[in-house]
Each structure stands twice: as C-alpha cells, then as structure tokens.
Amino acid sequence: MGPPPAVADVRRAVRLALDGLAPGSLVLVACSGGADSLALAAATGFVAPRAGLRAGLLTVNHGLQHGSGDRAADVVRLAPALGLDPAEALRVSVGTSGGPEAAAREARYAALSAAAERLGAAAVLLGHTRDDQAETVLLRLARGSGTRSLAGMPARAGLYLRPLLGLGRQTTVAACGGLGLSPWDDPHNLDPRYTRVRVRERLLPALEDELGPGVAEALARTAALCRDDADALDGWADVAYAGAVLSDSALSDIGGEAGAVALAVPELEGLPVAVRRRVLRRAAIEAGSPPGTLAASHILQVDRLVTGWRGQRRVEVPGGVGAVRRYGTLIFARHPASPVS
C-alpha cells in the first residue's frame, strides 16, 4: 500500500526538482516548521537518499517572537527523524530597511546563502506553494508591475529550488497529517499588519467568493505565462544590448569616463518599447544603479532621451547614476559630461 495521495504528490514534486543534481550532492531544506516547509523537509528526507543525494536542514531564527529560539531548536531536533543531516538553526539580526517583511526576508536569504556556501550545498529547497505564488502576483499587480515581476517566484533561481509551486497549501497540510507531523502555526501568518497576510486572509477569499474557486490556480498560471513572455523579451534584449553597447575605445573617443556604459541611439530607436526599456535598464545597472531601487518610472524618463530628444539634461536614476545623450549616444555614468545636441 502506497503513501497517502498528498504525501505522494509532495514527494513527486521534490523528485522532479532534484533531477539532474550530481550524485552525492548535498541539498538543504529551509524549514520554519510550518506545514509547507515541514512537508517539503519530510519529502526531501525520503527522496534524496533514493536519488543518491545527501539532505540536510536549515531553520532561521529571526528573533522576532518570544520563544523563537526554542522553536528553531525543536525543528533541528526533528531533522534526524526525517532523515536530514546536517541540521542547523541560523540566528539572524533583522534590520528595518524596506519594512519588516522585506528586512526579515533579506536577513533570511543572506543566512541561508552563507550556510549553503559553508556546507558546500548544491541547492537550497524552499517551501513556497501555488498559494504563495498567487499572493505574490496580486501584490505585484497592485504595484503596477511588468511581465518579469508578474512572473512571480521562479521554480529555480541559482542555488534556490521551489519544488512545491505546482501544489496548493492544502496539499502540504494533508501531507503533514498523513505522516503524523504537527506543523507550527506562525502567529505572524495571521497578523493583519502584514500586507501579505491581508492578501491571504482577506483578498484571495473575497475573490474566490465573488469569482468562484480556482483564483489561486489562475494567478499561478498567469505567472507562468508571464515568465515565458519575459524570458523571450529578455533574450531579445540581450541581443539588442550587445548590438547597441559601445566598446571602451569608442566610449573614450566621445569623452566617456571609465566605468560608464554607452549605447548607440540609432540602435535603440527601432526597438519595440518592451525590448528597448530592458536594454536601458541593463545599461543603468551595469553603470552602478541598484536593481532593487531602479523603478519603471526611472527607465521611462531615460527612454525619453531616445524617443523625445529635445536637448534634455542629465536624467537621474538610483545609485548616483545619470543618463545623458551626447553625439548620438546614451551614456550612463556616475558623473557624465554635459549633454551636447
């Protein structure tokens, strides 16, 4: 007799995610003790050795709640029973930049990445589900995001794997029940002060009530479709960037400074808007603008140097970088020269 259906579903998802890793590789599960990550940890402990892999566990203690250290210790103590070794609790210090959710996320990922590097892990598995993906899409829709942002969380991003993006939260809860595991319910997940909690507890249920069931699945499909489109546009933009960017010697000939990035305006003018603005964004980042603070509004202002040229002065973007048009080129630099028509 096989495992309960939910347990089998989670194991299957993990098996697919781990396919292709080199035999003997170490994979680590980021586990908070909640239903999603606990089901993922149990499935990984079962699947990894059968795939010739080693599996361990990391849990992050953010120190934001009373008893958080004890809960992290409980998760670590559970690891051997799940077949996970090594197992570590990572204590982090959460700052304030970007708000509490963003600050906790930044601290968590920094700790996970450092631990994975120290332990020589080939991958870190995250327990995000289809419901998390739907919440992410709604949050980004509210900000007026483009296709890349609406693509949501990728199933694979460098070191990180998200095996459960195709499964709903009800599946992970059922998997824990089928295995006799008792997840920890984080009170923060019910705290309406957090935007994501309000989306989860109020907005998504309201949409389901008004539009019928399946909203989360539809939003997750939207993310997948946006990802396909964004990948295609990014590939096109890579080719366009290579054709528009000036060499260092050509940049020097027009008085560009070291570290600057220059694009040939005639190469930009004929590009579709979605491709051209991707090229401009890449150039700004290459010149030193931080991706996390470089907004669509900044790129729109730079784009007008291409499409609405009237002798404008330097356009500022985050990171002290500016864009200026000179001699048919668009120069991104921290201290660009004055524009010449």
Can you give the pLDDT at residue 341? 40
Average pLDDT, the chain: 90
CATH number of this structure's domain 245-333, picked from the four choices 1.10.275.10, 3.30.1440.10, 3.30.465.60, 3.20.20.10: 3.30.465.60
Query: CB-based contacts of 70: which residues, under 8 Å, 6+ apart?
Result: none
Can you give the pLDDT at residue 196? 87
d(C-alpha 2, C-alpha 5), whole Å? 8
* 101 within 8 A of 198, measured Cβ to Cβ: no
Can you give the pLDDT at residue 254? 63
How buried is 25 (Cβ within 10 angstroms: 0-12 exposed, 13-18 middle, 19+ buried)? Answer: middle
* 10 within 8 A of 43, measured Cβ to Cβ: yes
Mean pLDDT of 29-58: 97
Interval 136-194: pLDDT, tens? 999 988 887 788 889 999 999 999 999 999 999 999 999 999 999 999 887 777 788 88
Per-domain boundaries in the chain: 5-227, 245-333
* 45 within 8 A of 210, measured Cβ to Cβ: no
Q: Class assignment of domain 5-227? A: alpha beta
